Chain A
Amino acid sequence: MSNVLVLIETAPDGSVGASAAMLLGAASRLGTPVAVLAAAPGSAAALAESLGSLGAERVYLAETDSVSSLLLTPQVAALAAAFTALEPSAILVANSIDGREAGARLAVRVGAGLLVDAVDVRAEADRIVASHSVFGGSYTVESTVEGGPVVITVRQGAMDGRAEAKVAVVESITLDIDATGSTVIESMRPLPAASDRPDLRGAATVVSGGRGLQSKEKFVLVEQLADALGAAVGASRAAVDAGYVPQTSQVGQTGVTVSPQLYIALGISGAIQHRAGMQTAKTIVAINTDADAPIFEIADFGIVGDVFTVVPQLIDAIGKRSGTS
């Protein structure tokens, strides 16, 4: 079986990033999963063990101090070194900001093709096929690359399959990095440690709030409902622009695309650009004071009402059902 490289992103604390399990799972369907990463010196042993447990058969590891000072240059160099050594048929990266950028740079550097934002990948006879969900899920497009290996960026949270655990063979490599052509990281402020809430991408339930929440303080109502449901928190662009929540919570055209079992929109009008990020949810619930809000056009259950009276009652009713209040 051909090698399939997976770029592993690490969290600010040095641990394996959230997308690694999905990517290694996807890679195991296409060939032999090889985890590739650039990491701070001294992290090798722990990383190799967790990557093996996620299905990596080999770990290609470059330990270098420059990961914290040069923007993605070490990651691209590690991928290029692994590419030359292992002649993979495919290279999978997360469709995260860093993943796409490293993947794109690698594709140019080694002359590979590029398929972006795949929601599924599969091997067919002699080619690899990716599926994409286009224009907010209005279309499904299948594509492939002809004439050479392919770099695929895979949408985070889009694929459920996981690989069997392996005991990974670790190969350490030394990178020859030219810092002159690189953007420099002068400082980094990690996002506050992730809450207990599930990640927005891939969450089974998402509760989102819009401008109708009126203020950052009152947006807490969205979080309270999310916690009652074990859900992730999302938001409209208007809510992000108003500073109620960080940009990473934005759902829509220029934010995250989600496809949960249940999506609850609170005080969101349902502009077409918001719908582009959530209209493939299985069940959509909307609460809005305006009976003509476009969000109701796609809601399975719509309530014309004030979020500040309906939602507390809903939280109370959920509590009673689960017997916790």
Chain B
Amino acid sequence: MKIVVLVKQVPDTWGARRLNLDTGWLDRGGSEAVIDEIDERALEAALAYQDSNDAEVVALTMGPDSAKDMLRKSLAMGADSAVHILDSRLAGADLAWTARVIAAALTKLGYDLVIAGNESTDGRGGVLPALVAEHLGVPLASYLDSVAITADSIAGERSTELGTMSVRAPLPAVISVTERTAEARFPNFKGILRAKKKPVTVWSLDDLGADAAASPVRSVVLATSERPARSAGTQIVDDGTAGVELAEFLAARHLI
């Protein structure tokens, strides 16, 4: 079984994340660039299957040159190889174009199962797996809280705002996992050493052909503005009357 895991470099949520106010694009000088936590879980789902089955795991990303560090981490965790779609023309690509490019790369690469995180921590779109599945014309089982992979199907629990359903799809398929799935393993020393020898293939747009071309319908950022940061207000230490004082504060603001 060939499992391709979609991974993305994002600004670390622990730091101050910034947008460039002129372009509306991510300011890469802001927070440190890391592999998105949710994509580590996606990779974990693939590696957990590989632990006891015959499977090839490939990490695939589209991103700037710096994304190669994150691919190394994926290899150190246990992926067998990595594919990096790298092309300066893709800077600022919208979701629609990104999905076309990734779908074209998946077609070129071949796959039985594609695993993605449900939603990136920077874009928070939560739509890329669906866009990719529709391009590929394969079933989509998204937002899975648990994943059971068999030789010819994938099943899992999918929770929405309305309830929890058990879903199943035949392979090939695209799935996405939530943060309720297992936490990712840490790369060990042996893994880090072996990662250095594993292959990373770099593809440009030209390698992906016409299917990866931008579509004539595109989204455009018109304006970006920053909201002033919040500051702290009153802080009191409870001396036995804080509950009453809070009620007075809320009443003064007409909140009760």
**Quick one: given A111-B215, A153-B127, A304-B238, are A310 and B221 in contact (CB under 8 Å)?**
no
B91 interface residue per 8 A CB criterion: no
> Could you say which residues of chain B place their CB within 8 Å of the CB of A144?
219-220, 222
Closest CB-CB distance, A265 to chain B, in whole Å? 12
> Could you say which residues of chain A place their CB within 8 Å of the CB of B179?
237, 254
- A305 lies within 8 A of B219 (CB): no
- A276 lies within 8 A of B142 (CB): no
Within 8 A of B (CB), among A141-156: 141-150, 153
Closest CB-CB distance, B94 to chain A, in whole Å? 8
- B140 lies within 8 A of A101 (CB): yes
> Could you say which residues of chain A place their CB within 8 Å of the CB of B220?
143-146
Stretch in contact with the other chain, from A25-33, A212-220, A315-323: A315-323
Q: Mark A273-301, 1 if CB is under 8 A from B, else 0.
A: 10010011001110100010000111111
> Could you say which residues of chain B place their CB within 8 Å of the CB of A183?
139-141, 167-169, 173
- A309 lies within 8 A of B219 (CB): no
Interface residues contributed by chain A, number (CB under 8 Å): 95
- A185 lies within 8 A of B167 (CB): yes
- B230 lies within 8 A of A279 (CB): yes
- A186 lies within 8 A of B133 (CB): no
Q: A96: which of B125, B142, B161, B227 is its contact (CB, 8 Å)?
A: B161
Q: B217: which of A17, A146, A181 is its contact (CB, 8 Å)?
A: A146
- A182 lies within 8 A of B139 (CB): yes
- A314 lies within 8 A of B235 (CB): no
C-alpha spacing A298/B229, complex, angstroms: 9
Closest-by-CB residue of A relative to B143 is A97
**Quick one: given A108-B99, A135-B17, A188-B165, are A101 and B24 in contact (CB under 8 Å)?**
no
Interface centre among B94, B126, B166, B229 (most CB of A within 10 A): B126
Q: B162: which of A190, A285, A305 is its contact (CB, 8 Å)?
A: A190
A113 interface residue per 8 A CB criterion: yes
- B246 lies within 8 A of A303 (CB): yes
> Could you say which residues of chain A place their CB within 8 Å of the CB of B236?
302-304
**Quick one: given A103-B127, A142-B222, A186-B167, are A135 and B19 in contact (CB under 8 Å)?**
yes
**Quick one: given A104-B134, A254-B121, are A305 and B242 in contact (CB under 8 Å)?**
yes
- B127 lies within 8 A of A114 (CB): yes
Closest CB-CB distance, B243 to chain A, in whole Å? 3
Q: A302: which of B155, B168, B234, B244 is its contact (CB, 8 Å)?
A: B234
- A117 lies within 8 A of B160 (CB): no
Q: Mark A107-127, 1 if CB is under 8 A from B, else 0.
A: 111011111110000000000
Contact-size category for B: 35 or more
C-alpha spacing A299/B233, complex, angstroms: 6
Closest-by-CB residue of A relative to B180 is A247
A227 interface residue per 8 A CB criterion: no
Closest-by-CB residue of A relative to B253 is A283
**Quick one: given A189-B163, A313-B243, are A229 and B168 in contact (CB under 8 Å)?**
no
> Could you say which residues of chain B place their CB within 8 Å of the CB of A17?
162
- B250 lies within 8 A of A262 (CB): yes
Closest-by-CB residue of A relative to B241 is A313
C-alpha spacing A310/B247, complex, angstroms: 11
Q: Mark B154-191, 1 if CB is under 8 A from A, else 0.
A: 01001111111111110001000011100000000000
> Could you say which residues of chain A place their CB within 8 Å of the CB of B224?
139-142
Closest CB-CB distance, B239 to chain A, in whole Å? 9
B130 interface residue per 8 A CB criterion: yes
C-alpha spacing A186/B142, complex, angstroms: 15
**Quick one: given A97-B160, A100-B130, A190-B163, are A300 and B233 in contact (CB under 8 Å)?**
yes
C-alpha spacing A318/B161, complex, angstroms: 31
C-alpha spacing A143/B138, complex, angstroms: 30
- A109 lies within 8 A of B134 (CB): yes
B131 interface residue per 8 A CB criterion: yes
> Could you say which residues of chain B place their CB within 8 Å of the CB of A254?
38, 119, 121, 179
B203 interface residue per 8 A CB criterion: no
C-alpha spacing A71/B173, complex, angstroms: 13
C-alpha spacing A186/B158, complex, angstroms: 11
> Could you say which residues of chain B place their CB within 8 Å of the CB of A310?
238, 242-243, 246
Closest-by-CB residue of B relative to A71 is B167
- B161 lies within 8 A of A97 (CB): yes
Closest CB-CB distance, B230 to chain A, in whole Å? 4
- A104 lies within 8 A of B38 (CB): no
The 8 closest A-B CB pairs, nearest first, are: A313-B243, A305-B238, A317-B247, A148-B217, A104-B130, A300-B233, A104-B127, A108-B134
Can you list 28 A-B pairs, Cβ within 8 angstroms, ordered by A?
Answer: A97-B143, A103-B127, A104-B127, A105-B134, A108-B96, A108-B135, A135-B19, A138-B17, A138-B226, A139-B224, A139-B225, A141-B221, A142-B222, A143-B221, A146-B217, A146-B218, A182-B169, A183-B167, A184-B167, A186-B168, A189-B163, A299-B235, A300-B233, A303-B237, A304-B237, A310-B242, A314-B247, A318-B247
Query: Besides A113-B218, A183-B168, A189-B163, 6 other CB < 8 A contacts?
Result: A108-B96, A140-B227, A145-B217, A145-B219, A299-B235, A303-B246
